[in-house]
Structure 1
Amino acid sequence: MKITKLTIWDVDYGTSFNVNQHPAILRIETDQGIHGAGEIGLAYGDGNRGAIHALAQLAERHLLGRDARAIGATWDRLYRDTFWGFSPGPLLYGAISAIDNALWDIKGKALGVPVWQLLGGRMHDSVRLYANGWFRNMGAPEAAAERALAIREEGYTACKFDPFEADRDGVFMWPKRHIPREWGLLAVDRVRAVREAVGPDFDICLDIHGNLGTTDAIIYGRMLAPHRPFFYEEPVDPNNVDSMEKVSREVEIPIAGGERLYTRYQFRPFVERQAMDILQPDIGLCGGISEMMKIAALGEVYNLHVQPHNCGGPVASAAAVHAVFAMPNFIILEWFPYWPDGRYDIVQEAYERKASHGRLPAPTAPGLGIELNDDYLGRYPRIEVG
């Protein structure tokens, strides 16, 4: 089964959450009429167009004419023969991840089974989700509490937000390394108000986006701990294992991170030094399904949990869903049910529209269980290779 063509779409939604939103979608076609879908994990922020052109170059040099079923050999080739594969970063590994996920989709379709079946079989009947993307114009603590209560009433049992990323009027801004005390106390008050609103049986996940200095991460982490956060994500620079380890020792909240780490090799020091309790590889950046399962296995050796970072489009969500159903140390999956930009229409039946009461049942369709929506994608510019 030879790879004959790749098509890449740059789906640009402009600015949302104060950053550019632009999922990049891949289709790989074969000479047997079976095709697979992938997505570059750089769906927000800057840099996705660099990854799109890296993907096109990889297609020309390493994919066309090769066996689509040889997933492991393809991953190894992209790691070893591209020269820069030995030094992982978001542009190259965003491209590699999209390729890997599309090849798993092809293989599942060719064999007529869901991808989770190829990864060792289903470990869970359904998976738990936490709601993200609900906190626009959060402002005063009471506003955050009111919205979180609505999420609980929708059936979710967990949510995530960054309590530091907006002022009292709800204006978005990243905090400085040394955050003003009034701003820090406002963040603590937001978490307190949410906890009081949702009660003790609802989990609150906190994402700090790596913005705090080590001292402030410890000071405010200790203030947040009595409100029992489910985890404290990227409290400091995501690549600084020493700072992360120090915060982990000093703050009684499980530490999470990993969306800006690529391959098992970058996760290794955080795992070996127990600097994180919950690993968060992004399936569209870490190296795809193939690499995420290896990262999960590495974490399992140290009794760590995995919560895949999932903040893109519905193709990335589909890949993450199949990985976690086959993952013994999976704990919870990030979920964005409130995107206003229409991205769920990138595929014909998005998993985001199938979740109910904060859970998702196991997919049964072959491959990733999705099909790209050509009519919708036709609105956006594309690159074709082959």
Structure 2
Amino acid sequence: MKVANLTYEAVRIPHQRPIYPSWFPEKEEKDQCILLIGIHTDEGISGYASMEAPFGILPILVATMEYAKEFVIGEDPFAIEKIIWKLRNVARISTRPWVIENALLDVMGKACNQPVYKILGAMRDRVKLYASWAEKRPDEQRKEDAKRLVEQGFKAVKVRFCSATMKEDIAQVEAVRAAVGGQLEIMVDANQGTAVERQQKGFPELWSYERAKQTARELENLNCTWLEEPLYRYNFEGLAKLSSEVSIPIAGGEINRGIAEFKWLLEQHCFRIIQPNCTMSEGITQIRKIAAMAEAQGVTCNPHAWIPGIGLLQSLHLAASICNCDYLEYPYDPPALLPGSFQGILVNELTVEADGYLTLPAAPGFGYTLDEEKIHKYSILKG
């Protein structure tokens, strides 16, 4: 079997109402842009994977896929270790080719008539979800939002911080805790990992080390599960110091890349929870190596799963194949962020079960059915 072609199609699916993401407060997102990647073999088997294409980077991603074709076409789709080295060469002068590796795994699963997580070596067939909120909303609204999550079966929620003061940030968590008590675990994402020019309208100042530490102390008192990205992702010294000085687990790593970088993060004890993303940190098989390094140090690996389309399934199969994973992110913030737009290219939406888990599909590959009608309706380019 050989790879005969690599295709891509960008799909823009409207949100029910615009989203105002806390990590980019002045940005209005009217739709979800999904880049669907296809790997097609000479034996008629096709595998697919998808990724996010935010903030106008779609032309860069398309150029990456065009460049990657010459490295992938003609290769054995099972030769992932060989292909990943070629993709690293692609990444040297372009960006995020790792979704291709994930599509190769879908081909492998279909060729073997098995779900991907079983081919990788299943640890479990169900994964616990946490609802991952997107927006900053009034505290009273968040109380009602949290109550609805409990009614739907969720056992955990991730709150986003983006206020000018620590007092305002902490008030969000206090509101959620007051509304639902211990019925939800509460994670917090500070979204400080990316160095953005914070003088832009709408952005609060980047956190100082002292603000990160004080915030961590307050969240400890509120019995929060982790604090995510409280400092710039390459502030290794600061992250290591913070992790050693507070009891709440510090989490991060969603855009850190490659085995060598995560090895350094782990050796410096920057995080007690690492969160590699299988379209940004490298692909699924390489993240399993990172998870194994973390396992050896007693560090949890909870994959970052803010990946639209098939992306949640990609992350689900990854999470089910590693032993040191206890939660998977589920992007969900109604009435703005809903499965209908975020997972938009799938016929069957993935939704939380009554006990807060999601069961792995039994179908071969990632176990999806593409919504061809919806893809055709909202397609904006293909190649």
TM-score by length of 2: 0.86
Look up the SS of the partner of 1:22 in the other structure. strand
Query: 1:221 corresponds to which letter in structure 2?
Result: A
Q: Does 1:101 align with 2:102?
A: yes
Task: Tell me how far apart the structure 1 counterparts of residues 316 and 227 of structure 2 sit (CA, whole Å).
Answer: 23
Q: Does 1:55 align with 2:53?
A: no
1:62·1:78 contact (CA, 8 Å) conserved in 2?
yes
Deviation at 1:78, TM superposition (A): 2.1
Q: Which runs of 5+ in 2 are unaligned?
A: 22-26, 193-205
Deviation at 1:317, TM superposition (A): 0.9
Task: Tell me how far apart the structure 1 counterparts of residues 259 and 2 of structure 2 sit (CA, whole Å).
Answer: 29
Deviation at 1:192, TM superposition (A): 1.5
Deviation at 1:77, TM superposition (A): 2.3
Q: Does 1:28 align with 2:29?
A: no
Look up the SS of the partner of 2:40 in the other structure. strand
Could you list the per-position Cα deviations for residues 266-291 of structure 1 after superposition, in whole angstroms to 9, with x for gaps in the alignment?
Answer: 11121111110111001111111111
Could you list the per-position Cα deviations for residues 2-59 of structure 1 after superposition, in whole angstroms to 9, with x for gaps in the alignment?
Answer: 212222122235763335542211111111111011123x443453431221112111
2:136·2:162 contact (CA, 8 Å) conserved in 1?
no
Look up the SS of the partner of 1:11 in the other structure. strand
Deviation at 1:130, TM superposition (A): 0.2
Deviation at 1:320, TM superposition (A): 0.9
Deviation at 1:308, TM superposition (A): 0.7
Task: Tell me how far apart the structure 2 counterparts of residues 54 and 146 of structure 1 sit (CA, whole Å).
Answer: 43
Task: Tell me how far apart the structure 1 counterparts of residues 225 and 352 of structure 2 sit (CA, whole Å).
Answer: 25
Task: Tell me how far apart the structure 1 counterparts of residues 77 and 256 of structure 2 sit (CA, whole Å).
Answer: 27
Match of 2:130 in 1: 130
Identity of aligned residues (%): 28
Greater strand content? 2
1:282·1:308 contact (CA, 8 Å) conserved in 2?
yes
1:281·1:292 contact (CA, 8 Å) conserved in 2?
yes
Q: Does 1:188 align with 2:188?
A: no
Query: 2:66 corresponds to which letter in structure 1?
Result: A
Deviation at 1:262, TM superposition (A): 1.1
Query: 1:52 corresponds to which letter in structure 2?
Result: V
Which residue among 134, 139, 142 is the counterpart of 1:144? 142
Could you list the per-position Cα deviations for residues 288-324 of structure 1 after superposition, in whole angstroms to 9, with x for gaps in the alignment?
Answer: 1111111111111101111111112131111111111
Deviation at 1:74, TM superposition (A): 0.8
Alignment of 1:280-359 (within 5 A): 280-337=275-332, 338=334, 339-340=337-338, 342-350=341-349, 352-353=350-351, 355-359=353-357
Q: Is the alpha carbon distance of 1:218 and 1:262 closer, same or farther for their aligned partners in structure 2, counting shifts above 3 Å?
A: same
Match of 1:170 in 2: none
Q: Is the alpha carbon distance of 1:33 and 1:100 closer, same or farther for their aligned partners in structure 2, counting shifts above 3 Å?
A: same
Could you list the per-position Cα deviations for residues 221-258 of structure 1 after superposition, in whole angstroms to 9, with x for gaps in the alignment?
Answer: 21222001110000010121111112212322100001
Look up the SS of the partner of 1:199 in the other structure. helix
Query: 1:30 corresponds to which letter in structure 2?
Result: T
Match of 2:113 in 1: 112
Q: Does 1:217 align with 2:212?
A: yes
Look up the SS of the partner of 1:12 in the other structure. strand
Could you list the per-position Cα deviations for residues 57-91 of structure 1 after superposition, in whole angstroms to 9, with x for gaps in the alignment?
Answer: 111x2112222221121112222x44817xxxxx5
1:43·1:313 contact (CA, 8 Å) conserved in 2?
no
How much is the aligned-residue C-alpha RMSD, in angstroms? 2.1
Task: Tell me how far apart the structure 2 counterparts of residues 301 and 315 of structure 1 sit (CA, whole Å).
Answer: 30
Count of aligned residue pairs for this structure pair: 354
Query: 1:5 corresponds to which letter in structure 2?
Result: N
TM-score by length of 1: 0.86
Match of 1:245 in 2: 240
